[in-house]
């Protein structure tokens, strides 16, 4: 019975993943020789969700081409008295060396020695897939639920300072509601409404300031030039200007021209050199035996040349790709300096 219930939970989790799989390309491909220096191209923190062929979900810290640290959480857990699964959806390395990450049912911060220094567990019926550190003492969480909310939390006091209700398309279908939510430098909230097919910016009072339609958006990043970079489960990235016009994009067709299979684009970030980095999540549209044929991360130039492709499914096995923080970019993640 336990196995049946676990499979049922996984099936519920994969309801949106099934539709994505149906629409994703059927071929799995990547060039035999990849551009860039593999693990040595950038130092990075990496995590991914739904590595369902493993008992653990793993965060990886890579420096100088070598995995120097890792942390594992259980994949299969009990929640509300029944079997369920955890996910690593959003992870960041802070300037004090701590790592903070979401687990689907909450969020955790650990020291380099893996001591838990802060933890939050969402109420029954909620999920958390987005976390933004705000300084070293506060954090912004996006909590899917009915209602869905943004939570501003003081970690030192372990106190919720503010809640901010946000609309969703399907209040009873929690998993597919929100993905990345970010507090911008202007003090506004930029949210990827996955189940509403839109990215929306709100002021502190909840007033809509800006919005664009995007099918199944995952990540939304306000760039320094005022544009907004958006990733989608449907396998594309679009950059919008303030008027809502698309000024740059990278699609499955663009990737295919270079010989790459692009599935679900989850995290997207803009580097200081103008290149764009995307994670290529394949766990919802391909069997584990097929994963090693794909790349997990791509770095793309403004003229759409792929200059770095990462494919690491053994020694170390990075697993499916959801979140990556490149550690050679100037600034501090907790100060909002990175365009991710």
Question: How confident is the model over 228-238, as pLDDT tens digits?
Answer: 999 999 999 99
**Average confidence (pLDDT) over 76-85:** 97
- Indicate whether 207 pLDDT > 60: yes
Give CA torsion, residues 56, 143, 186, 95, to 10 deg.
-30
Strand 306-310's sheet: what is its strand order?
Answer: 264-270, 276-281, 297-300, 306-310
Provide the H-helix boundaries in the chain. Answer: 2-13, 15-23, 252-257
Q: What percentage of the chain reaches a pLDDT higher than 70?
A: 92
Per-residue pLDDT band for 269 (boundaries 50, 70, 90) equals very high
Residue 70 and residue 56 in contact, taking contact as beta carbons nearer than 8 Å? no
Task: Please count the other Cβ atoms lying within 10 Å of the Cβ belonging to residue 337.
Answer: 13
Residue written as token pair 């790709």 = 321
Burial class, 313, CB count within 10 angstroms (exposed 0-12 / middle 13-18 / buried 19+): middle
- Indicate whether 3 pLDDT > 50: no
Question: What pLDDT is recorded for position 104?
Answer: 99
Strand 44-47's sheet: what is its strand order?
Answer: 66-74, 56-63, 44-47, 323-326
What are the phi and psi torsion angles at 196 (to 5°)? -110, 0
Tell me how far CA of residue 224 lies from CA of 227, 258, 291, 338, in angstroms. Answer: 7, 29, 35, 10
Question: What pLDDT is recorded for position 22?
Answer: 44
58-97 per-residue burial string, b: 16 or more CB within 10 A, e: under 16: bbbbbbeeebeebbebebeeebeeebbbbbbbbbbbeeee
String of DSSP letters for 65-125: TEEEEEEEEESEEEETTEEEE-----EEE-TTS-EEEE-BSEEEEE-TT--EEEEEEPPTT
- Indicate whether 291 pLDDT > 70: yes
Share the mean pLDDT of the chain: 94
Residue 29 and residue 293 in contact, taking contact as beta carbons nearer than 8 Å? yes
- Indicate whether 8 pLDDT > 70: no
pTM: 0.93
- Element of type H or E holding 242: none
- Taking the C-alpha atoms of residue 180 and residue 175, their distance in angstroms, rounded to an integer, is 13
Per-residue pLDDT band for 29 (boundaries 50, 70, 90) equals confident
String of DSSP letters for 165-188: EE--S-TT--TTSEEEEEE-TTS-
Residue pLDDT, tens place only, 91-149? 999 999 999 999 999 999 999 999 999 999 999 999 999 999 999 999 999 999 999 99
- Indicate whether 312 pLDDT > 80: yes
- Indicate whether 167 pLDDT > 50: yes
Higher confidence at residue 42 or residue 24?
Answer: 42
Task: Kindly list the structural domains of the chain, giving each domain's residue range(s) and its CATH number in brackets, ordered by start.
Answer: 2-328 (2.120.10.30)
**Average confidence (pLDDT) over 29-37:** 96
Question: What pLDDT is recorded for position 285?
Answer: 94
Per-residue pLDDT band for 339 (boundaries 50, 70, 90) equals very high
Per-residue pLDDT band for 27 (boundaries 50, 70, 90) equals low
Per-residue pLDDT band for 13 (boundaries 50, 70, 90) equals low
Question: What pLDDT is recorded for position 124?
Answer: 98
**Average confidence (pLDDT) over 67-89:** 98
- Indicate whether 6 pLDDT > 50: no
Question: What pLDDT is recorded for position 70?
Answer: 99
Question: What pLDDT is recorded for position 28?
Answer: 77
- Taking the C-alpha atoms of residue 242 and residue 78, their distance in angstroms, rounded to an integer, is 44
Tell me which DSSP letter residue 317 carries: B
């Amino acid at each position: 019975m336990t196995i049946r219930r676990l499979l049922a939970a996984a099936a519920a989790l994969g309801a949106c993943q099934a539709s994505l799989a149906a629409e994703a390309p059927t071929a799995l491909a990547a060039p035999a020789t990849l551009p860039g220096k593999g693990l040595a191209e950038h130092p990075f923190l990496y995590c991914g969700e739904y590595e369902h062929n493993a008992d653990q979900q793993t965060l990886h810290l890579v420096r100088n081409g070598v995995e120097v640290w890792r942390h594992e959480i259980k994949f299969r857990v009990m929640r509300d008295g029944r079997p369920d699964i955890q996910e690593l959806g959003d992870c960041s390395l802070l300037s004090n060396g701590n790592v903070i990450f979401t687990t689907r049912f909450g969020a955790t911060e650990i020291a380099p020695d893996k001591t838990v220094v802060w933890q939050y567990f969402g109420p029954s019926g909620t999920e958390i897939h987005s976390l933004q550190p705000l300084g070293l003492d506060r954090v912004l969480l996006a909590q899917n639920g009915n209602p869905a909310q943004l939570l501003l939390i003081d970690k030192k006091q372990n106190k919720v300072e503010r809640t901010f209700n946000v609309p969703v398309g399907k209040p009873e279908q929690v998993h597919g509601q929100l993905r990345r939510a970010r507090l911008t430098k202007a003090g506004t909230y930029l949210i990827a409404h996955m189940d509403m097919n839109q990215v929306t910016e709100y002021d502190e009072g909840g007033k809509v300031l800006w919005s664009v339609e995007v099918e199944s958006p995952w990540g939304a990043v306000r760039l320094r030039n005022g544009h907004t970079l958006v990733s989608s489960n449907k396998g594309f990235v679009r950059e919008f200007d303030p008027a809502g016009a698309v000024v740059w994009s990278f699609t499955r067709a663009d990737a295919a021209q270079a010989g790459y299979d692009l599935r679900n684009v989850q995290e997207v970030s803009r580097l200081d050199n103008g290149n764009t980095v995307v994670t290529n999540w394949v766990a919802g549209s391909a069997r584990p035996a097929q994963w090693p044929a794909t790349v997990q991360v791509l770095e793309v130039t403004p003229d759409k040349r792929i200059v770095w492709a990462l494919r690491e499914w053994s020694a170390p096995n990075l697993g499916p790709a959801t979140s990556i923080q490149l550690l050679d970019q100037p600034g501090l993640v907790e100060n909002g300096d990175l365009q991710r």
